[in-house]
Amino acid sequence: MYDIEGALERQLAQVATDRPTVMFTEALDPRVLEAVCYLARHCRPVLLAPEKEVRYLAARELTHVDPNRLEFALSESTFVRVKDRTDLVSEFAHVCQERKDSRHLCPDLDAAKARMLDPAMFGLFAVKLGHADIVVSGASHAPRDYFRPMLKLFSTRRDVCEAGVFVLPDLHPADMFPHNIVVFGDTGVNATMTPEVLAEVAVGTCSVARDLFPEDVLPTIQGALVSYSNRGSDEGPSPEMVRRAMELVPAVLARRITRGERYRSIRIAGEVKINAALSRRSAAYYFQGEGEEAPPPANVIICPNVDMGNLLYNLYAARFPTAKKFAVVTGVGSQAVDLALDTTAEDARLAVKATILRLHLHGGWKATPKDTFIPRHRILAINPGSTSTKIAVYENDREIFTRELQHGAEELQPFDGRKITAQFAFRKDAVIRALADNGISIADLHAVSGRGGLVHPTPHGTYVVDEPLLDDLRVGVLGDHASNLGGLIAAELVSGTDKPAFIVDPPVVDEVPSRVKVTGLKSVRRKVISHALNQVATARRYAEEHETFYEKVNVIVAHMGGGISIGAHHRGRYVDVNNALDGEGPFTPQRSGSLPVGQLLEMCFSGAYTKAELKALVKGRGGLIDLLGTADLREVEQRIAAGDDWAGEVFEALAYQVSKWITSMLPAFDGEPLDKVLLTGGMARSQALVARIEGYVRALGCGVRVYPGENEMAALAKGALRVLNGHEKARAYRPSGPAPV
């Protein structure tokens, strides 16, 4: 059976930049609440019920749901007791009386206020007035209480239709519908049928199929506009009306194509008898002798009659109980989901995911208009590098502004030979100018999050930048590094305000047990310095994608950039990692990696190298640079393609060594199973490298997930956001003693 849910997930990952606010009006229905457990990473759920009652229901009815998934969903949800929001009830009631499309719902203001206490009506007006983006209802609300008012409030076009989407099981004849996918278009929601409306509905229903099913699955969306009667007038769905509608279809489809090139693959055949639409054998007989070929197998059946549409939907639902099925309402701006009274939890979550996808595809949705239920936090992230300073402003999960401020050699020349902190004022002023040039002031922000520096070893987390942390950043207790400027600049920008400054997961995050640090020499103890920010952020991202917490997963993260760090994350603790700063681990584009000790000693005392030259070979001039003269893996792959055998050998060695260090982390989990190996960093964009690593680590049995790039700016913002949203407490930096030697 085609994996419709997996397909929706993949498409959402490609188009979603933020999560819309979704109102669930029937939060005390176990089916709806179970659906929410699979939706929290795609939307911001607002549950119209008291949290205590929701949790009681979950404990009683959802014992079959993974408790970690349930707790994650509830932690991401906002709970609203409708009768406690008298401000909104009053606002909605007044608007209800003022609007022509809703005045008929209630005879007077008092009646309107009483009506707004119904969660379904409350949810409808919350979305209509911009407090949320999508309303979900219908599982326990009759059409007169939800569906009909929803159409009055939201329908703005003539293609209003409720399309029933089916993915049928493999036992269904595969030659009837391509991939056993079929969409039934029910035009019964239109009180008056005209050729114009029918043409709009036909194209709109086919557009639903095109939005939900990629072209590599259904290259063509083939619609069949059914004519079920040989008699009738222009007032009904007669063959004549279908013919007239078909004359209008090309123009309607042309307008649709202006909204997306994907709609060019839609084809619609008209005046098709229902038996011909549903049976290839019947179609062959029907078109035999009529001078035209039978149309290709249809995957969209447009039924210009409510009874026929409902009959087909329910017949297929009853005949194939394991089918994946859900409804999508068109012509309402992707603002509403209508659940059937007999919906299942799976039906509900598929319907919501499909509607969220179409919201992203259609309207260019960016953010919920109002922050009534979901606070809108603006966070400035600052990431200083050796010759640049990256800055970005996030509004919750969404990046709204980003710049990489380049610092040329002439600008940095006055600071040659001085500590990195000498650049503090220069870098801070550059950040302030860039923000001002783009109309952003500190007053617009809720927090500033800077890249952490080389301070004393500390557990992972988000830290408030206070005086002890500032002191150690200025000194650079573990080294002089550009990242020491992140917290310093963040604190200065918010000085004199009540806004917090944070650092997140600095490179010195150290949660490893003593067994990791002990070496065979009493005087040498392993240090822990790594790409902790991206390491922990990648592990968190994997957990969130599986609707659970960082504290509940076991993953190995391989950050593959100019340096490579390979870390073990054991249920919320970063318990082992190579010292990426000093070049321990596999060789990298610029670093030598771990070397045979004896041979390294011979080099040290050979007299052929100075100490500075050896340090450069270990970090800066080693790895791919020493082996191939380049730090660019893309160039290495180009050489391999041109027949360079040595480049191929080096590439294979790189993949092997990364894989070897990945598998070496297995003991860190104390025998617990591994959930996944995660590959991240710039080199994770190399499909060839990823494929080789996947092959080498296959014996671990957990598989590999790839997150290309470093994702550091988002990680800085999300660290602050977790604190602002109350999901995590900010830590205070309090080193227990001097940095370990």
Q: Which residue has the tokens 């550091």?
A: 712
Main-chain phi, psi angles of 488, to 5 degrees = -65, -45
Using a pLDDT cut of 90, give the percent of the chain over it.
Answer: 76
Question: How deeply is 687 buried, as exposed, middle or buried, from its count of CB atoms within 10 A (0-12, 13-18, 19+)?
Answer: exposed
Interval 434-442 mean pLDDT? 94
DSSP-assigned states of every residue in 438-479:
TT--GGG-SEEEEE--S-S-B-SSEEE--HHHHHHHHHTTT-
- Which CATH superfamily groups domain 532-709? ATPase, nucleotide binding domain (3.30.420.40)
Do the domains spanning 18-151 and 161-331 agree at the CATH topology level? yes
Segment holding 615, helix H or strand E: helix 611-618
- With beta carbons less than 8 A apart as the criterion, state whether 528 and 509 touch: yes
Look at residues 78, 145, 587 and name the one whose alpha carbon lies nearest to residue 339.
Answer: 145
Cα distance between residue 507 and residue 531, in whole Å: 6
Give residue 741's pLDDT: 31
Q: Which of 33-37, 105-109, 374-378, 704-708 has the lowest mean pLDDT?
A: 105-109
Best CATH choice for the domain 161-331 from the list 1.10.3720.10, 3.40.1260.10, 3.40.50.10750, 1.10.10.10:
3.40.50.10750
Residue 188 has pLDDT above 80, yes or no: no
**pLDDT tens-digit series, residues 712-740:** 999 999 999 999 999 999 999 988 643 33
For 227-376, strand residue ranges (E) read 266-272, 300-303, 324-330, 336-338
Q: What is the 3-state secondary structure (H, E, C) of 156-211?
A: CCCCCEEEEEEECCCCCCCCCCHHHEEEEEEHHHCCCCCHHHHHHHHHHHHHHHHH
Amino acid identity, position 213: F
Q: Which pairing describes strands 447-451 and 501-504: parallel, antiparallel, or unpaired?
A: parallel
**pLDDT tens-digit series, residues 26-74:** 999 999 999 999 999 999 999 999 999 999 999 999 999 999 999 999 9
Architecture of domain 377-528: 2-Layer Sandwich (3.30)
Interval 486-502 mean pLDDT? 96
Interval 471-477 mean pLDDT? 93
The CA-to-CA distance between both ends of the chain, in Å, stands at 59
List the structure tokens of 568. Answer: 């073990």
Q: Which residues pair with 378 in a beta bridge?
A: 395
Main-chain phi, psi angles of 558, to 5 degrees = -110, 105
Look at residues 689, 694, 420 and name the one whose alpha carbon lies nearest to residue 561.
Answer: 689
Cα distance between residue 427 and residue 406, in whole Å: 10
**pLDDT tens-digit series, residues 295-338:** 667 889 888 666 677 788 888 888 899 999 999 999 899 999 99
Q: What is the 3-state secondary structure (H, E, C) of 404-447?
A: EEECCHHHHHHHCCCCHHHHHHHHHHHHHHHHHHCCCCHHHCCE
Interval 502-520 mean pLDDT? 95
**Dihedral-angle region of residue 576 (phi above 0 means left; psi in -120 to 50 means alpha; beta otherwise):** beta
Residue 228 has pLDDT above 70, yes or no: no
Interval 413-424 mean pLDDT? 92
Find the length of the chain: 741
Using a pLDDT cut of 70, give the percent of the chain over it.
Answer: 94
Q: Which residues contact 40 (CB under 8 A, 6 or more apart)?
A: 72, 73, 76, 77, 547
Cα distance between residue 24 and residue 84, in whole Å: 17
Architecture of domain 18-151: 3-Layer(aba) Sandwich (3.40)
- With beta carbons less than 8 A apart as the criterion, state whether 298 and 222 touch: yes
616 alpha-carbon distance from chain centroid: 40
Q: How many CB atoms lie within 10 A of CB 731?
A: 17
Residue 368 has pLDDT above 70, yes or no: yes
Cα distance between residue 193 and residue 242, in whole Å: 11
Average pLDDT, the chain: 91
Q: Which residues pair with 384 in a beta bridge?
A: 389
Supply the pTM of this predicted model. Answer: 0.88
Segment holding 611, helix H or strand E: helix 611-618
3-class secondary structure, 644: coil
Cα distance between residue 466 and residue 655, in whole Å: 42
Q: Which of 232-246, 328-342, 497-511 has the lowest mean pLDDT?
A: 232-246
- With beta carbons less than 8 A apart as the criterion, state whether 105 and 118 touch: no
Residue 175 has pLDDT above 80, yes or no: no
- With beta carbons less than 8 A apart as the criterion, state whether 196 and 224 touch: no
Q: Which residue has the tokens 């001097």?
A: 738
Give residue 292's pLDDT: 60
Give residue 161's pLDDT: 86
Q: Which pairing describes strands 704-708 and 554-560: parallel, antiparallel, or unpaired?
A: unpaired
DSSP state for residue 561 in the 8-state scheme: S
Give residue 204's pLDDT: 92
Interval 254-270 mean pLDDT? 92
3-class secondary structure, 127: helix
Q: Which residues pair with 221 in a beta bridge?
A: 266
List the structure tokens of 244. Answer: 């007239």
Cα distance between residue 537 and residue 671, in whole Å: 24
- With beta carbons less than 8 A apart as the criterion, state whether 339 and 184 touch: no
Amino acid identity, position 577: V
List the structure tokens of 338. Answer: 């209508």
Q: Which residue has the tokens 């092997």?
A: 656
Q: What is the pLDDT confidence band of residue 155, given thresholds at 50, 70 and 90?
A: confident
Q: Where are the domains of the chain?
A: 18-151, 161-331, 377-528, 532-709
Give residue 737's pLDDT: 44
DSSP-assigned states of every residue in 661-710:
HHHHTGGGGTTPPP-EEEEEEGGGG-HHHHHHHHHHTGGGSS-EEEEEB-
Cα distance between residue 320 and residue 224, in whole Å: 22
More confident residue, 277 or 535: 535
